[in-house]
Amino acid sequence: MDINDYIQKNKSEFDDRDFDENLVWNRIEKELPPPRFRIIPLLKRAAIACIIIISAITLYQYGYYEGSNRMFNEGLSELNAIETYYGQKYEVLKSSLENNNTYEQTTKDAFLKTMEVLELENIKLKDRLNRNIDDEKVMMALVENYKEQIQALEDFLGKSQMDKNEKNDDREYLSL
């Protein structure tokens, strides 16, 4: 028997029934393999996101530190120039004071003791400058501190030079 003959004989049975989509889909779903959760694409996406985030952070940090290092090196060279110029000048004047025989040692020691206040301020300024090497106000304060130290030494040494000249004038007067 042919399928067409079978349909023709049982046509009335087919007309009574309505098409049930749910029944058909239920049968199809039973034959399908169960859905599996695909974790590999999810892991790939997570790995790509991590790589992008880490790269962005690394590039940001590299740029930040390179910029900081550049500013630090520029500030450090400026600090070195200040130390070289003013620091050497101060040390020369301080050693000439120590080698000066015009005043007694106690007078020189008392003066150097008062100079320690400026030296301590100098140390504090250097410490602040180490924390923020690009701070111009601190840099200028450091220069001013050195200038005050040098000026004080020059004034003291100048006074001793004038005392020497007065003693020489007294000697010349006495010798006349």
Helices (H), 19-176: 21-31, 39-82, 88-98, 105-131, 136-175
Give the whole-angstrom CA distance, residue 124 versus residue 142. 9
Closest CA to 67 of 160, 137, 133, 166: 133
Q: Is the pLDDT of residue 65 over 70?
A: no
Most confident among 66-75, 122-131, 160-169 (mean pLDDT): 122-131
Please report the pLDDT score of residue 30 as a whole number: 84
Q: Which tens digits make up the pLDDT trace of 23-60?
A: 888 888 888 887 776 667 778 888 889 999 998 888 77
Closest CA to 113 of 99, 130, 129, 94: 94
The band of 166, judged by pLDDT with boundaries at 50, 70 and 90, is: very low
**Mean predicted confidence (pLDDT) in 101-109:** 82
Q: Return the percent helix, strand and coil in the chain, to nearest 5.
A: 85, 0, 15
Q: Which tens digits make up the pLDDT trace of 114-163?
A: 888 888 888 888 888 777 766 778 888 888 888 888 888 888 888 655 45
Two tokens at 115? Answer: 């100079």
Please report the pLDDT score of residue 51 as a whole number: 92
pTM: 0.47
Q: Which residue bears the tokens 């999810």?
A: 42
Give the whole-angstrom CA distance, residue 155 versus residue 150. 8
- Give the rounded percent of residues in the chain with a pLDDT score beyond 70: 75
